[in-house]
Amino acid sequence: MAAVITTKSGATWQEIAADRQRHRDATIAEIQPTFPESLPEITVNTLRIAKGLLTPEEIKITETTTEILVEQLANSQISATNVIKAFLRRAALAQKLTNCVTELLPSRALERAAFLDDYLAQNGKPIGPLHGIPISVKEHIGMKGLDRNAGYVGWVGGVADNDALILRILWQAGAVFYARTTQPQSLMHLETSSNLYGVTTNPFNTSLTSGGSSGGEGSLIGFRGSCLGIGTDIGGSIRCPSACCGIYGMKPTSARLPFSGLLYCGGGQEQIIPAIGPMSTSLEGCKLFLKTVIDVKPWYQEPSLLPFPWKDENFFQGKKLKVAVIWDDGVVKPHPPVLRALKQLVEKLKEKDNIEVVDWLPYKHELAWELIANLYFCDGGAEQIAAIGSSGEPFRPLSDHILKNKYVTAHTVPSLYKATMKRDAYRTEYANLWNSTATSTGPCGELEGMVDVILCPAGPGSAPKIGTSKWWGYTSQWNLLDYPGIVFPVDKVDISRDSTSVTHEPINEWDKENWKLWEEHGAEGYQDAPISLQLVGRRYEDEKVVQALEIIQRETGVPFVSYT
C-alpha cells in the first residue's frame, strides 16, 4: 500500500483529498464481482437500483435485520463469510450511488469471517452475542493501523495505534468490521460533506442530504449496505442521519458507552458530553448493540462511564405507557409531512388502552439552542478553525453556519462557569416541568404517574435539500438536557398525500428559512424521503425509551411503509 499523502510532505489539500479518494476507490475495486462501469441513471430512489445489480442471495442477506442474522449465524444456517461478502458488495454499490464510504476493509473482514466460521465449526457455539455481524464504523472512531482524519484534510496521516475501546468490545462479541464511513468537515454539520470526500447523499432521494454528521452510516445503512453501525452525537449526529435515511438510531445518555479512542476537537470539554451509539435497520439491532457493550462493564476500563447494567426489567408491567407529544418546538414549525406522520401515529396510539397520550408544551427551546450553541465551542471555535486551517482547505458553508453562529464566544473560565450554571438551571427547570406531570406522590415523596417519554419530530422536515440543514433544535434540545433519544422510521414523503396547501406565518428567521424550503420545493422536492420521529426519555432512562418504542411498534405497526 502506498504511503498516505499528508500536509507534512508539503501536499496541497486537493492532493491529499485526491489521494484519500484513490485509496477509497482502490478498496472498493477489491470487491468481487465488480459492478459495471456505468450504472443505471439515478432517478430518485437508489434502493431500486440495488435490486437490479445484486444477486437474490445478496439482497436477502443484506435486507435481513441484525437480530435474525445473529440467529442464523449462531445456528450455522448461514456463514459469516457469506454474510460479509453480501454486505461488502452492497456497501461498494452504496458508495457508487451515495458516496458514503471512506474505505472498505475486504481482506481483514474476510479473514475475520473465516476465523469465526472456523470457531463455530470447532466449538459448536458462537464466539459471542454478535458472532459474524458486520458492523460499519464512522471514520473518526479509531481502528488500529488505519488512518483517521475526523473530516479535516489537515489531520490525514494520524494513524490510530489501537482500536477504540467500543470496537474492542464489539470485536470480542464477534463483530466483523468491514466499512468506514463519511462524516462532514468539523463533525459539526447535520449533513455530510467534506473537502476530502465531497457530499454524501440520501439513498431514498439523492437530491437530499443523508443528514449528518454520521451521514455515511445513515446512507449506508439506509441503503442496506450495513445492518448495524456506530455513530456519534453531540447535537443530533446519530439521530438526524438515521431520521433522514429511514433507520433506527439511538443517542444514549452520555457516559453509558465507551468514548475512548475517538478523534475529534473538544477533548477535555465537559459542558456538553458527546455520545456514541448504534444505528441500525432494526430497533432490536440497536438494543443488541447497547446490551452487548454495557454487559462487559466497560466502566472498569473507562472510568468516566457510569456503572449501570443494562436494565431488563419491564418498566410497564401493570401500568400504561404515558406518551407526551411535542408537535412543534415553538421555534421552527415542521414541514407538513412530519406533522402528517406524527398525527397518523398519535391517532393510532390514542386508540390503545395501554397507552395514554398527552400534549407537551415545549419549554423555551429557543433559549435551549442559545445555551448549547454557546457551549459547543468554548474557545470560540479556535480548535476547529485551526484544524481546518492546518491544510488550507476552505470552510464548508455548514462549518461556517455552526462555528460562526451568533452564540459562539471565546469563553474565559468565569464566563464558562456562568454558562454552565445557566445550563444546569435550564436542566432543573425542565426536570421540574417533567415532575409536574406526576399525578400523585408516594409515601416517601416519590413522584408517580409522570410522563414516561416524549414523542416529537426528529427535525423540522424530512431529509433536507443538500446544504439547507440549519435548525438543530429538534435534536440538540436533548443533548443539552442529556436525555436519551431514539429516532425511528414512520412513513415516507408521498406526493399524493403531502401536496396539500398549508399556510404558515413564520415567527423568526429560522422558521422563515425552513418554511421557505417547503414552499419552494413542496412534496415533489422531497419525494420518497423517509419521515421519522423521535422518542425521548429522561436522563439515564435509556432502557425505558427502548421499551416504550417496542410497545409503540407492537401496538401501531409503525413503520407504515416498507423501506426496501
- Among 410, 499, 516, 524, interactor with its own copies by CB under 8 A: 410
> Nearest distance from residue 38's CB to its own copies, in Å?
48
Residue 492 annotated to the active site? no
The answer on whether 273 is annotated among ligand-binding residues is no
> Nearest distance from residue 539's CB to its own copies, in Å?
6
161 binds its own copies (CB under 8 A): no
The answer on whether 194 is annotated among ligand-binding residues is no
Q: Which spans in 76-145 are helix H?
A: 80-98, 106-123
379 binds its own copies (CB under 8 A): yes
555 binds its own copies (CB under 8 A): no
From the list 195-203, 229-237, 267-275, 361-369, the region that binds its own copies by CB under 8 A is 267-275
Q: Which of residues 305-364 bind its own copies (CB under 8 A)?
A: 306-308
Residue of 136, 186, 193, 213 marked active site: 213
> Which residue in this structure is represented by grid cell 422536515?
461
Q: How many CB atoms lie within 10 A of CB 3?
A: 8
Q: Which of residues 459-488 bind its own copies (CB under 8 A)?
A: 481-482
Q: Binding-site residue total for its own copies (CB under 8 A)?
A: 56
| 414 Cβ contact partners less than 8 Å away, ≥ 6 residues apart | none
From the list 18-26, 176-184, 199-207, 419-427, the region that binds its own copies by CB under 8 A is 419-427
**Ramachandran area for residue 543 (φ above 0: left; ψ -120 to 50: alpha; else beta):** alpha
Residue of 79, 85, 136, 138 marked active site: 138
DSSP letter assigned to residue 356: E
Pick the closest to residue 507 from 326, 332, 327, 328 (CA basis): 332
**Ramachandran area for residue 392 (φ above 0: left; ψ -120 to 50: alpha; else beta):** left
Residue 426 φ/ψ, nearest 5 degrees: -65, -40
Query: Which residue type, as a one-letter code, is found at position 500?
Result: T
Given the complex with its own copies, which of 14 and 436 has the nearer CB atom? Answer: 436
From the list 213-221, 260-268, 276-284, 455-463, the region that binds its own copies by CB under 8 A is 260-268
370 binds its own copies (CB under 8 A): no
Given the complex with its own copies, which of 259 and 327 has the nearer CB atom? Answer: 259
Distance, in Å, from the CA atom of 128 to the CA atom of 176, rounded to the nearest integer, reads 12
417 binds its own copies (CB under 8 A): yes
The answer on whether 236 is annotated among ligand-binding residues is yes
Residue of 79, 194, 226, 237 marked active site: 237
> Per-residue x/- mask for its own copies, residues 491 to 530, rule CB under 8 A?
----------------------------------------
- Among 24, 411, 492, 521, interactor with its own copies by CB under 8 A: 411
269 binds its own copies (CB under 8 A): yes
- Among 45, 260, 344, 553, interactor with its own copies by CB under 8 A: 260
Residue 333 annotated to the active site? no
Distance, in Å, from the CA atom of 62 to the CA atom of 272, rounded to the nearest integer, reads 36
Contact criterion met (CB below 8 Å) for 104 and 31: yes
Given the complex with its own copies, which of 29 and 306 has the nearer CB atom? Answer: 306
Check the CA dihedral 441-444-445-449 and report its sign: negative
Given the complex with its own copies, which of 38 and 317 has the nearer CB atom? Answer: 317
The answer on whether 237 is annotated among ligand-binding residues is yes
35 binds its own copies (CB under 8 A): no
Residue 282 annotated to the active site? no
Pick the closest to residue 305 from 362, 231, 253 (CA basis): 253
- Among 360, 434, 478, 515, interactor with its own copies by CB under 8 A: 434
267 binds its own copies (CB under 8 A): yes
From the list 38-46, 336-344, 378-386, 501-509, the region that binds its own copies by CB under 8 A is 378-386
From the list 149-157, 194-202, 302-310, 325-333, the region that binds its own copies by CB under 8 A is 302-310
428 binds its own copies (CB under 8 A): yes
At 545, list the grid cell: 425509551
> Nearest distance from residue 540's CB to its own copies, in Å?
5
Distance, in Å, from the CA atom of 487 to the CA atom of 549, rounded to the nearest integer, reads 9
> Which residue in this structure is represented by grid cell 492532493?
15
- Among 25, 118, 424, 509, interactor with its own copies by CB under 8 A: 424
169 binds its own copies (CB under 8 A): yes
> Which residue in this structure is represented by grid cell 495505534?
161
- Among 9, 77, 304, 562, interactor with its own copies by CB under 8 A: 304
Distance, in Å, from the CA atom of 309 to the CA atom of 387, rounded to the nearest integer, reads 37
Long-range contact set of residues 505-510: C-beta below 8 Å, sequence gap at least 24: 506/333, 507/331, 508/331, 508/332, 508/366, 510/331, 510/332, 510/470, 510/471, 510/473
| Alpha-carbon distances, residue 43 vs 8, 203, 301 (angstroms) | 42, 11, 48
The answer on whether 187 is annotated among ligand-binding residues is yes
Q: How many CB atoms lie within 10 A of CB 551?
A: 20
| DSSP conformation letters of 505-563 | ---SHHHHHHHHHHHHHHHHHTTT-EEEEEEE-STT-HHHHHHHHHHHHHHH----S--
At 439, list the grid cell: 399525578
Interacting residues with its own copies (CB under 8 A): 128, 169, 172-173, 260, 266-271, 295-297, 299-304, 306-308, 378-379, 382-383, 410-414, 416-421, 424, 427-428, 430-432, 434-435, 444-447, 481-482, 538-541
Annotated binding site: 187, 213, 234-237
Annotated binding site for substrate: 187, 213, 234-237
Active site residues: 138, 213, 237
